[in-house]
């Protein structure tokens, strides 16, 4: 996510400082190394998500004694799921402030937050069967399109681009925070979750901003390889991509759920 980096990270001066120490070829950042690290984090995230999914209790669909068809219903979500989410958030913050630790904190983030993603996915799927598959396909499609747009330079990641995306991402983060604070006092921010045209429009904008964050993640990898920064930052780059994909996936899931309720 751009919010976790900011434009200074993409500046040549910042990369120049990171690469100021002479490194052997085997200790330099490489695109292939970042791809490998991303694959490892993705596998850990999916494995944890499967565990989180299986930890949620659900009553299968059934027909009651009056002949009414009752959809599947979630009956229990373990309290430790929330704790895992807080732990995952903590590892994410730690990774931002200590990028060189990403080789350790990145996998820990994927394992802890992956359980949350799996549990949330189960809850959504219980009320709308097949929605998780649709959201996964949409997320991978967004990733593929953004990679193509970046590789072909249809989208150019300039400092102005980064500043705009970071600003938009910070605004979204503040909106999420405000909604969370309101929920602590028993309230709800209806325009975010009620399935109205406004809520759907806001969700679509959030997904677009998330997709633009991917372009910044790609630019980070390209510049890091160009400036031959330490190899340990491959895990930081992988962490950024995984975190952005998780954000996009959860938002796509929420958007599809709202659209299904309107049908």
Judge contact between 4 and 96, C-beta under 8 A. yes
Q: What is the pLDDT of residues 120-159, one digit of tens each?
A: 999 999 888 889 999 999 999 999 999 999 999 999 999 8
Judge contact between 53 and 251, C-beta under 8 A. no
Both tokens assigned to 167: 């600003």
Q: Which of 6-10, 22-26, 76-80 has the lowest mean pLDDT?
A: 6-10
State the chain's mean pLDDT as an integer. 85
Nearest to 51 by CA among 118, 122, 126, 120: 118
**Residue 113 pLDDT exceeds 90:** yes
Cβ burial, residue 114 (10 Å; 0-12/13-18/19+)? buried
> Hey, which bits of the chain come out as E strands?
57-59, 62-63, 69-70, 73-76
Judge contact between 109 and 91, C-beta under 8 A. yes
Q: What pLDDT, on a 0 to 100 scale, did the predictor assign at position 33?
A: 94
Determine what percent of the chain falls in helix, strand and coil, rounding each to the nearest 5.
Answer: 75, 5, 20
Q: What is the pLDDT of residues 44-60, one digit of tens each?
A: 999 999 999 999 887 66
Q: Place 5 in a pLDDT band, splitting at 50, 70 and 90.
A: very low
Q: What pLDDT, on a 0 to 100 scale, did the predictor assign at position 69?
A: 52
Q: What is the 3-state secondary structure (H, E, C) of 13-68?
A: HHHHHHCCCCCCHHHECCHHHHHHHHHHHHHHHHHHHHHHHHCCEEECCEECCCCC
Secondary structure class of 160 (helix, strand, coil): helix
Beta bridge partners of 147: none
**Count of the separate structural domains present in the chain:** 1
User: Which H or E run includes 6?
Assistant: none
Boundaries of domain holding 126: 2-262
């Amino acid at each position: 996510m751009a919010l976790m980096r900011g434009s200074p990270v993409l500046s040549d001066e910042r990369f120049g400082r990171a690469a100021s120490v002479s490194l052997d070829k085997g200790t330099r950042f490489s695109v292939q190394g970042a791809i490998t690290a991303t694959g490892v984090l993705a596998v850990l995230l999916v494995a944890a998500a499967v565990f989180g999914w299986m930890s949620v209790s659900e009553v299968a669909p059934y027909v009651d004694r009056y002949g009414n068809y009752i959809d599947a219903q979630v009956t229990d979500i373990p309290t430790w799921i929330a704790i895992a989410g807080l732990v995952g958030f903590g590892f994410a913050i730690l990774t931002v402030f200590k990028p060189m630790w990403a080789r350790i904190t990145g996998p820990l983030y994927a394992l802890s937050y992956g359980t949350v993603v799996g549990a949330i996915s189960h809850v959504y799927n219980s009320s709308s069967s097949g929605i998780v598959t649709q959201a996964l396909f949409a997320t991978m499609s967004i990733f593929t399109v953004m990679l193509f747009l970046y590789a072909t330079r249809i989208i150019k990641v300039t400092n102005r681009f980064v500043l705009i995306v970071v600003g938009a991402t910070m605004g979204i983060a503040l909106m999420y925070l405000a909604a969370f604070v309101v929920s602590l006092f028993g309230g709800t921010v209806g325009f975010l979750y009620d399935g109205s045209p406004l809520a759907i429009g806001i969700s679509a904008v959030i997904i677009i901003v998330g997709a633009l964050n991917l372009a910044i993640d790609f630019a980070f990898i390209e510049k890091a390889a160009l400036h031959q920064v330490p190899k340990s930052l491959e895990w930081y780059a992988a962490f950024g991509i995984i975190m952005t994909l998780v954000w996009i996936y959860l938002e796509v899931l929420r958007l599809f759920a709202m659209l299904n309720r309107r049908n």
